[in-house]
Chains A and B, each alone.
Chain A
Amino acid sequence: MSPPGIIDLSAAQAVAEIEAGRLSAAEIFAFYRRRAADEARELNCFTWLASDLPGNSGSQAPLRGVPLAVKDLFCTQGVPSQSGSLILKDYRPPYTATVIEKLTSAGAPLLAKTNQDEFAMGSSNENSAFGPVLNPWNHTRVPGGSSGGSAAAVAAGLVPWALGTDTGGSIRQPAALCGIVGLKPTYGSVSRYGMIAFASSLDQAGPLTRNVTDAALLLRHMVGCDDRDATSLVFPEEIRLPTAVDLKGVTLGVPQELERPGAQLAGAEIQPSVRASFENALKLAERLGATIKTVQLPHAPHALSAYYVLAPAEASSNLARFDGVRYGHRAEGAEDLLDLYTRTRHDGFGPEVKRRIMLGTYALSAGYYDAYYGSAQRVRTKIAEDFKAAFEKVDFIVTPTSATVAFELGEKTSDPWSMYLSDYFTVPMSLAGIPAISIPSGLSEAGDGEGAADLPIGFQIAGPVFSENRLLDAAHALEAAIGFDGSEAWV
């Protein structure tokens, strides 16, 4: 096979080509290494690039040497793992995250580390200490976040596939804004060991890929119980490659809360193109045999409020470890130990991280704990119950992934809440711990504001705990009917 054809192969197809002896692991690594290096500066997707194919990436393993990019916050031994933060600048961990170890031994060698919002806090990748990532569809717009580097790199064809993490939407929202597939698995199905923590009860690693089959293939080698993560679970079945071509017998639930924009959505007004694309996808689903029903998720409109108590509260505890003592940045000339802590953290954390540490510390502080943290935990219970009740009536719940297409760089940075609203449709599933996938459903048209045409739109499908195989099948059938072509964004 001549090198120009490699770009056209999905990751699963590349695996098959290598298996058939028509392509070698060394060829595909060199091909993507060169593409990534050429474009690294333009889109700012990467924080580190491998120089050579690692020696141990045997092409006999199931993934056959098809290289992988991973979000910066995954610890990789001897390789910078900075979580987008100055406080971890040049930090090279002494160990590797379980999920990376699993994927490497399954035959996916590490090609690159990807840029991200600092400590995964953000929806635009503008909070990175290493600068913003640009959206490959339109360089004046954000790729989404926090896994913006991974999403942009896959969308631009700079890597075959990538890993991200999702706490409140950080895989699904950038996947939507970049026109690719992003899957947040059931909480606990992928080990969190070696992921630099943001909010431990929500963080979950997942694939960012060109198509649904690639997402299934990568996920198959990610799941598994790990002794080193006490919250990891045994996934009850093997992840299968999806085969469904229709949606016969499948019921999709559209939350009633979606139908009342303005009233309930409070600022997360759905853009006309996003709504049109969502409705078009529903029509296609019906044509494939699906039944569409309206369901109620009465507490979902409160999910964002609960999330912005719970996630910062957990973050304020998790980020207490960054004190300038054992690793990472240390402020110079401290007078005493407390001065060392406070100045190291002042210098090392960016504005959004400071905001969330403050918010979380406030919510956990004496006198406010019950009003904020306690209430938010109770809302979380109600949200999980809402989903459970809805899944008695429908197989999956569908929404737009994001109410808007990719927005302009700088558009939302001055108003934190407007940025937080980017995750309006993804946060409820995170709080409930259920799996959800975003697939591209089309491109925007003129009418969503200046320059907002021809940008990707995401369609989110969520299912009950451990429904990944069914979810991937449904997404696969719909993906084929939509026929989205992401190759326009390849550089």
Chain B
Amino acid sequence: MIDRDEVLHVARLARLKLDDGEVESMAHELSAVLDHIAKIGELSLDDVPPTSHVVEVVGRLRPDEPRPCLPREVALEQAPSVADGGFLVPSPQA
């Protein structure tokens, strides 16, 4: 149902590198799971509203007042690489 190209396309969307072996097994496993999931297609759901959140919560707002946030040095403490008080990453275009 899902072929190799489709797996690679989805992996790109998910920012996930997959080894060749992983691509094979993923195609197989995802197809098997989607076969089960496809059964919901048999239900007639046209007039049913979708539920994204089961409990009725209206978007809650708080007063827009300044308050303390994580100090910069604490925010950077766990970073793999830091420079000039920020997170250091490779260039987007090598």
The dominant DSSP class at the A interface is helix
Do residues B55 and A342 form an inter-chain contact, with CB atoms below 8 A?
Answer: no
Do residues B39 and A302 form an inter-chain contact, with CB atoms below 8 A?
Answer: yes
Residues in B whose Cβ lies below 8 Å from that of A380 = 50-51, 54
Do residues A335 and B45 form an inter-chain contact, with CB atoms below 8 A?
Answer: no
Interface residues of B in 44-66 (CB under 8 A from A): 45, 48-55, 57, 59-60, 62
A431 CB to closest chain B CB (Å) equals 7
Residues in B whose Cβ lies below 8 Å from that of A92 = 78
- Which of A9-17, A111-119, A317-325 lies on the face that meets chain B? A317-325
Do A94 and B51 form a contact, CB below 8 Å, given A336-B91, A365-B10? no
Which one, B40, B62, B89, contacts A337 given CB within 8 A? B89
Which one, A233, A345, A346, A377, contacts B50 given CB within 8 A? A377
Residues in B whose Cβ lies below 8 Å from that of A326 = 75, 78-79, 87
Residue A292 lies at the interface, judged by CB distance under 8 Å to chain B? no
Do residues B51 and A336 form an inter-chain contact, with CB atoms below 8 A?
Answer: no
Which one, A330, A334, A341, A379, contacts B43 given CB within 8 A? A379
Which one, B9, B41, B87, contacts A371 given CB within 8 A? B41
- Considering residues B10, B34, B49, which has the most beta carbons from chain A within 10 angstroms of its beta carbon? B10
Q: Give complex CA distance A8, B90 in Å.
A: 57
Q: Give complex CA distance A231, B15 in Å.
A: 29
Do residues A201 and B92 form an inter-chain contact, with CB atoms below 8 A?
Answer: no
Instruction: Number of B interface residues at 8 Å Cβ cutoff, please give it.
Output: 55
Do residues A231 and B57 form an inter-chain contact, with CB atoms below 8 A?
Answer: yes
Do residues B81 and A330 form an inter-chain contact, with CB atoms below 8 A?
Answer: yes
B6 CB to closest chain A CB (Å) equals 8
Residue A175 lies at the interface, judged by CB distance under 8 Å to chain B? no
A418 CB to closest chain B CB (Å) equals 10
Q: Give complex CA distance A359, B60 in Å.
A: 31
Residues in B whose Cβ lies below 8 Å from that of A351 = 22
Residue A361 lies at the interface, judged by CB distance under 8 Å to chain B? yes
Q: Give complex CA distance A329, B43 in Å.
A: 43
Q: Give complex CA distance A433, B53 in Å.
A: 9
Do residues A338 and B37 form an inter-chain contact, with CB atoms below 8 A?
Answer: no
Do A94 and B74 form a contact, CB below 8 Å, given A305-B39, A416-B32? yes
- Considering residues A306, A309, A361, A362, which has the most beta carbons from chain B within 10 angstroms of its beta carbon? A362
Do residues B10 and A378 form an inter-chain contact, with CB atoms below 8 A?
Answer: no
Do residues A231 and B53 form an inter-chain contact, with CB atoms below 8 A?
Answer: yes
A221 CB to closest chain B CB (Å) equals 21
Q: Give complex CA distance A334, B91 in Å.
A: 10
Do residues A316 and B37 form an inter-chain contact, with CB atoms below 8 A?
Answer: no
Do residues B90 and A358 form an inter-chain contact, with CB atoms below 8 A?
Answer: no
Q: Give complex CA distance A320, B30 in Å.
A: 20
Which one, A329, A341, A384, A417, contacts B36 given CB within 8 A? A417
Q: Give complex CA distance A326, B26 in Å.
A: 29
Interface residues of A in 177-199 (CB under 8 A from B): 186-188
Q: Give complex CA distance A304, B74 in Å.
A: 41
Nearest A residue to B50, CB-CB = A377
A-B contact pairs, 18 of them (CB 8 A): A94-B70, A94-B77, A187-B54, A305-B40, A308-B33, A308-B37, A326-B75, A330-B80, A335-B90, A337-B89, A339-B94, A343-B17, A346-B19, A358-B26, A359-B33, A361-B10, A371-B41, A381-B50
Which residues of B are at the interface with A, using a C-beta cutoff of 8 A? 2, 6-7, 9-11, 13-19, 22, 26, 29-30, 32-34, 36-41, 43, 45, 48-55, 57, 59-60, 62, 70, 74-75, 77-81, 87, 89-94
Top-5 shortest CB links A-B: A377-B50, A433-B54, A336-B94, A330-B80, A327-B78
